[in-house]
Structure 1
Amino acid sequence: MLTAQDDLIGHQLPTTYDHVGTSDPAWMERLWYTGHPKNGEIIFDIGLGYHPNRNVMDAFAGVTVGNIQTNFRVSRRLRPNPLDTEVGPLKIEVLEGLKRHRLTLAPNDSGLSFDIEFLGTMNAHEEEPHFRRRQGRVTENMMRGQQLGVYQGWLEVDGERFEITPDDWLGQRDHSWGVRAEMRSDESHPPVTFYPPFLYAWTTVQFADHGLHVFFKERAPGDFIYLSGEAVGPLGQRPDPKLRMTGVSHDITWADDPHGQRVESATFDVTLADGCTRQMHLRTLPARYYLKGGLYGGLNGWFHGDDKGKLHTEHDRWDLSDPAIRTLVRTICDHVIEVRIDDEVGYGIMEYGVGKGYARYPQVQQHPAI
């Protein structure tokens, strides 16, 4: 169907913008944002998924303050408004590409609402292509771009209002699209995705005038199945291919946590294409947002892209000090970090997990990695 976007230059197919070049139901497009103050005591996550071959758009927003994580989830039928990035009370607007985005959540039963603007400060990082086949079938063929920035606006949860100022609130966003590998960790609704031994870490950090993206997955130490990263400069500065990441090694210290995998600190030695190595000393700060709240891996039988009807909303509040909640939310989270490289201090987030059978870090492998 014709939409306003069809008046713009840039068509890649002899059809309208609401169609993609494959009928694979796994094709999706996702917008994602996270932000936090430098003290790492609060974190918010916001995301939106576009599923054109399933006729669904879903979205989530959540915030962790102390030990309490508040989640809001919403889904709608995609058509007849396929390209409107608005799902119920949650809306994402690209005001200026690669520079300014506006994120709003109108008052609703979850007790969470906000009006926040993302302001890009660093050049975006274009990840290396993601491509996988399994038994001859393409299970992943997607690309992703990431960008560091700051936030301004306000956020309110349970009647408490937080003013968000760009001198204190940093963040990161990404935009991905293509065929995305299925991730199912909701044990109440099998099948559950099987993972061979692995370690993965996705890390972004922002300093005063530059940033660093580090993303790797490996089957064994040094045996990479995916590697992408880059040292980025301020917005508008010409990217330098010599600053792409070519290798990384790690030494991770895990917290003594009986309820799940939790990184306490880590050292990453990152090698760039120019031959230089940057040693990152990471320590985790208090706030984590567990991505189960946004349906990553599925929750209570609801998975990304599921048709929940014309409009459907859910919300919940989790006490992260409750062992039963920690069992539910598993490991995958956005964890605020402080990073030191030489005399510079920066802030960002880290996602991580180590699977059973990986050759290091056996002390946490009794807990699920995803």
Structure 2
Amino acid sequence: MMLTKGDDFPLHQTPEPVAYAGTDRNFYDRYFFNGYAPDGSGFFGAAFGIYPHLNVADAHFTFIRDGVQYALHASRELNMERFDLTVGPISIEVVEPLQELVVRVNGEGIAAELRFKGRAFPIEEPRFTFRIGPRTFMDYTRMTQNGFYTGWIELDGVRHDLAPGTSGTRDRSWGVRPVGASDAQPHGHGVVPSFFWQWTPINLPSRSLFFHINADRHGAPWNTRAVIAPDGAGHDALYETPSAVMEAPMEPGTRWPAGGTLTIQRPEGPLEVTFEPLVRFQMRGLGYTSPRWNHGLYHGPLEVEREQFVLADIDPMAPTMDNLHVQIVSKVTTSDGETGMGVFEQLILGPYDPYGLKEYFDHG
């Protein structure tokens, strides 16, 4: 399969590029963005999801300022129109498919205009298919792209322009994930759900690096790959390999990463990449694992809400588990002498033997 311009629009109805939706009520079609200044400050993120079988569209915008994470959430009825990329105060414009997009926000004292331009052709990740016992938990395709941002963010009338060189990552994914109201039916006797995820999109001076791993509770990868993408590269000029290993301890008392070292095997020898944590971002600001704003939940014809929380006050192991999912903005150094910025995303649910996690509320 190869990505086409059509894949940058929310037309997908199965995990394959542009096809019928089938009958799975958990089908979704999603945009994601993050960005940060060259020194790691000024982090922001945006997400926009469409759930055709649930008749819901939702969107989120969040950013960090002076140790506080601000978030704007919005949800509406989809009304069958998948090309309407607006949910209340948040909208997305696809200026040039696979290359340039704009996120606009204006509501509840939060406003922004953020223009993303890609550094290289998006990568298409291996298809994610995962089952818990007999039940399909995930079956989706994702494309990912690093790039640069221009624009501004305004909070309660105070506008900050993005720093020159602000970079980040955006992705598009479509297929099946748990969305909307949870399925209360148990998986079956003796089935213990677990999930392990790490993702590290990195911006270096002249290239992008990508790594991800999904592993089972015993640490065996069921989906993993690293990609090196030189600036301007087309889809046929990317170096891809499944031979990459991340070593990352957890911050004590949490399930958050405390830095790490990634080793990517290449024909010319291994590339070692080290992560120095700078800023922690809570993914609940984009709806991920949020009890109230989790993706696809029905809130009526239109609902908009502002949220904010002090990052230093977050309970890393809250019983609701909505603080487990994080992105750590990190300074990145490579063994061949480059420095750059990236994020280290991690989500661990349930047991994970390599870290000694036996129960849902074990921690590092």
TM-score (norm. length: structure 1): 0.82
Find the residue that maps to 2:259 and give its secondary structure.
Answer: strand
In the aligned structure 2, how far is the partner of 1:31 from the partner of 1:171? Answer: 14
Superposed counterparts of 1:120-135, under 5 Å: 120-135=118-133
**What's the CA shift for 1:255?**
3.2
Find the residue that maps to 1:235 and give its secondary structure.
Answer: coil
Question: Is residue 355–residue 368 contact of structure 1 (8 Å, CA) maintained in 2?
Answer: no
Superposed counterparts of 1:1-370, under 5 Å: 20-79=20-79, 81-106=81-106, 108-109=107-108, 111-165=109-163, 167-181=164-178, 196=193, 199-219=196-216, 223-237=220-234, 239-240=236-237, 243-256=239-252, 258=253, 260-272=254-266, 274=267, 276-286=269-279, 288-300=280-292, 302-324=293-315, 327=318, 329-342=322-335, 343-354=337-348, 357-362=351-356
Question: Is residue 121–residue 150 contact of structure 1 (8 Å, CA) maintained in 2?
Answer: yes
**What's the CA shift for 1:334?**
1.9
In the aligned structure 2, how far is the partner of 1:38 from the partner of 1:367? Answer: 35
In the aligned structure 2, how far is the partner of 1:58 from the partner of 1:246? Answer: 34
> What per-residue deviation string (whole Å, max 9, x for no partner) do you get for residues 207-261 of structure 1?
11111110002236762121133111223445346x21222223223334x4x33
Q: Which moved more, 1:224-233 or 1:167-176?
A: 224-233
**What's the CA shift for 1:120?**
0.8
Question: Is residue 282–residue 338 contact of structure 1 (8 Å, CA) maintained in 2?
Answer: yes
Question: Is residue 212–residue 224 contact of structure 2 (8 Å, CA) maintained in 1?
Answer: yes
Structure 1 residues 324 and 199: alpha-carbon distance in aligned structure 2, compared to 1, 3 A threshold: closer
Tell me the amino acid that sits aligned with residue 268 of structure 1: L
Tell me the amino acid that sits aligned with residue 125 of structure 1: I
In the aligned structure 2, how far is the partner of 1:139 from the partner of 1:253? Answer: 27
**What's the CA shift for 1:356?**
5.4
Question: Is residue 289–residue 333 contact of structure 1 (8 Å, CA) maintained in 2?
Answer: yes
Tell me the amino acid that sits aligned with residue 155 of structure 1: I
In the aligned structure 1, how far is the partner of 2:111 from the partner of 2:362? Answer: 32
**What's the CA shift for 1:339?**
1.1
Find the residue that maps to 2:121 and give its secondary structure.
Answer: coil
| Number of residue-to-residue matches in the alignment | 346
Structure 1 residues 183 and 285: alpha-carbon distance in aligned structure 2, compared to 1, 3 A threshold: farther
Tell me the amino acid that sits aligned with residue 93 of structure 1: E
Tell me the amino acid that sits aligned with residue 345 of structure 1: T
RMSD: 3.3
* Structure 1: tracts of 5 or more residues without a match: 1-5
Structure 1 residues 227 and 323: alpha-carbon distance in aligned structure 2, compared to 1, 3 A threshold: closer
Question: Is residue 29–residue 177 contact of structure 1 (8 Å, CA) maintained in 2?
Answer: yes
Structure 1 residues 240 and 323: alpha-carbon distance in aligned structure 2, compared to 1, 3 A threshold: closer
In the aligned structure 1, how far is the partner of 2:186 from the partner of 2:258? Answer: 28
Structure 1 residues 136 and 198: alpha-carbon distance in aligned structure 2, compared to 1, 3 A threshold: closer
In the aligned structure 1, how far is the partner of 2:50 from the partner of 2:185? Answer: 24
In the aligned structure 2, how far is the partner of 1:315 from the partner of 1:67? Answer: 17
TM-score (norm. length: structure 2): 0.84
Question: Is residue 128–residue 143 contact of structure 1 (8 Å, CA) maintained in 2?
Answer: yes
In the aligned structure 1, how far is the partner of 2:194 from the partner of 2:19? Answer: 37
Find the residue that maps to 1:123 and give its secondary structure.
Answer: coil
In the aligned structure 1, how far is the partner of 2:81 from the partner of 2:217? Answer: 46
In the aligned structure 1, how far is the partner of 2:36 from the partner of 2:250? Answer: 22
Tell me the amino acid that sits aligned with residue 333 of structure 1: V
User: Identity of paired residues, percent?
Assistant: 22
Structure 1 residues 192 and 118: alpha-carbon distance in aligned structure 2, compared to 1, 3 A threshold: farther
Task: Tell me which residue corresponds to 2:3.
Answer: none
Q: Which moved more, 1:90-99 or 1:132-141?
A: 132-141
